[in-house]
A and B are shown apart, each in its own frame.
Chain A
Amino acid sequence: MLKSLHIDPGKCTLCMQCEMACSYENEGLFNPAKSRIKVFDFHDRFVPYTCTQCAEAWCMSACPVDAISVDHATGAKVVSDDLCVGCKVCTIACPFGTVNYNHDTGKVIKCDLCGGQPACAEACPTGAIAYVDSDWTGYDKMRRWAGKTDSGAAQAHA
């Protein structure tokens, strides 16, 4: 069964271990600015936020050079550095803002679920980020929003 990241903001303590782990795993340095997961601090609550690997895959369909594909083992939408030309269309097409341009490499970066072992979930000390069976993940909220931004195709599939 496919697994997904399950995010429970109620358990987040703003320790930022996820951002550190993500940037270290993917960029080789402890730099939250290069993290693919971001924790938002609203003072009374903290919200870890990253790509939900949404079914619409706005980034993937907008890519003009086929540089984003589905990893069938994890369901993640993965950027191929070899194919990405750095045109940034995916960064505006993704209505969640979870594909970002990396000036240093001239390519885009996004969450790829670390190939099935997400470093953020492993680093999270409170279980606010967990990697669990897709059936009961709490991405519903984001998916509802995906529905609201939908361009029409989801209605046809429904």
Chain B
Amino acid sequence: MRYVLIGAGPAGVVAAETLRKADPGGDILLLGDEPEPPYSRMALPYFLVGTIDEAGTYLRKSETHYDDLGITFRHARAVRIDPAGKTVALEGGESVAYDRLMIATGSRTQRPPIPGIDLPGVHPCWTLADSREIVRRAAPDSRVVLMGAGFIGCIVLESLIKRGVKPTVVEMADRMVPRMMNAAAGGLIKKWCATKGIEVLTSTKVTAIEDTGEARDPLRVLLDRGAPLRAALVVVATGVRPNIAFLEGSGIETDFGIRVDSHLKSSVDDVYAAGDVAQGPDFMGGWSVHAIQPTAVEHGRIAALNMADGNASYQGSLAMNVLDTAGLVSSSFGQWQGVESGESVERMDEARFRYTRLEFDGERLVGAICLGRTDQIGMLRGLIQSRVRLGDWKARLMEDPQRISEAYVASTHK
């Protein structure tokens, strides 16, 4: 059996490793379109700070890892898929044949269509190449404007502060991390940033970027309200979108991402998708793209088992994120926005920057947000994903939502 995997991020790499175990004799070709060995975007903020070098971002540390497993890793970009002929066309004209194909092409950053977005010094922070450029430009004491205060924006912010730059964050929405935090939590993160001397402008749009030609902080960032900002560097973190453009005309069904079933199979036989590019079953019975590391590796593993003639069914991905914003750790899980006719409870301790909110559907926990707490937060995933009935513990949690770990152990260790 010849397996071809397009994309060498976590989903592709885990899939290749899983295929090797499931089909010791299979022929596995892993394609990556960046020049480096497979690496982790998650690790880039730590490369920016200098905690790790480039090799520290690699998904697997042994230089011979892929060779050792008999996985062929090739630097190549897929430009077209022909499901009828079962081939993948590569940039440069070559094409490779497959018996089973996985598309794990991840996502790409969106650049808002504003004047100046392509100027030198305006960068996303998505690839190692981007990161090198940011390291080069983010000199201590230089001014940096961060467009977007989402997950990526916040985590890059943390790194930029550690590099000693003066950052200003510009976010279109009315709060920070709008897709991961509610108004109360987002507001608390903004307040935290203020105490750290970080300027955060919410409900504000960048309208244009200009090059002044001056030596110091040459970029001028125009806003829809307030005075323009100066910057040596503008980091664009305004969201990502699945890489599906190259699938046009292939017959593979796409919506926001590639539609896959609970076996991670696409609408076309022998073609699977995993990770950020896949729109698969979610834990609440819908179809979502959850562009997060845990979903990527779960997708990769399950898709690979099925590609190797196994029968693994995915229970659905659960949204979850953990974020460190200049030292304040926040996390959110599942249906943190709540569900219809559900109940919720929250505790806010503004002075200590702590916040907990739990969302229930009947006796079950379905979502949560935590700020200022890191101990045993995984139990929130455990409570949601095991769908455990909380019984008496529901009332106790409504009284004191901090008692998460007790509720978990009491409910699961009877």
Contact = CB atoms under 8 A, between A and B. Distances in A.
Interface residues of A, number: 41
B333 A92 contact: yes
A99 B313 CA distance: 27
A66 interface: yes
Contact of A151 (B10, B298, B311): B298
A40 B393 CA distance: 14
B302 A103 contact: no
Given A87-B43, A103-B374, A152-B298, A40 B405 contact: yes
Interface stretch (A16-24, A115-123, A142-150): A142-150
B322 A91 contact: yes
B61 A152 contact: no
A65 B331 CA distance: 20
A4 interface: no
A152 B305 CA distance: 10
A94 interface: yes
Interface in B133-154: none
A61 B297 contact: yes
Given A61-B301, A85-B56, A95-B386, A100 B376 contact: yes
Contacts of A145: 382, 386, 412
Contacts of A103: 374
B385 A153 contact: no
Contacts of B61: 66, 83
Given A47-B413, A83-B56, A88-B329, A155 B312 contact: yes
Interface in A104-158: 141-142, 145, 148-153, 155-156
Nearest to B40: A64
Contacts of A153: 298, 301-302, 305, 312
B382 A65 contact: no
B314 A152 contact: yes
B406 interface: yes
Given A95-B381, A97-B379, A97-B405, A156 B310 contact: yes
Interface of B: 10, 14, 40-43, 45-46, 51-52, 56-61, 262, 293-294, 297-298, 301-302, 305, 310-315, 320-322, 324, 329, 331, 333, 374-382, 385-388, 405-406, 408-410, 412-413
Interface of A: 9, 38, 40, 42, 47, 49, 58, 61-62, 64-66, 83, 85-89, 91-101, 103, 141-142, 145, 148-153, 155-156
27 contacts: A38-B376, A40-B405, A40-B410, A65-B57, A66-B58, A66-B61, A88-B322, A92-B321, A92-B377, A92-B380, A93-B320, A94-B381, A95-B385, A96-B378, A96-B379, A97-B379, A97-B408, A149-B386, A150-B315, A151-B298, A151-B315, A152-B262, A153-B301, A153-B312, A155-B311, A156-B302, A156-B311
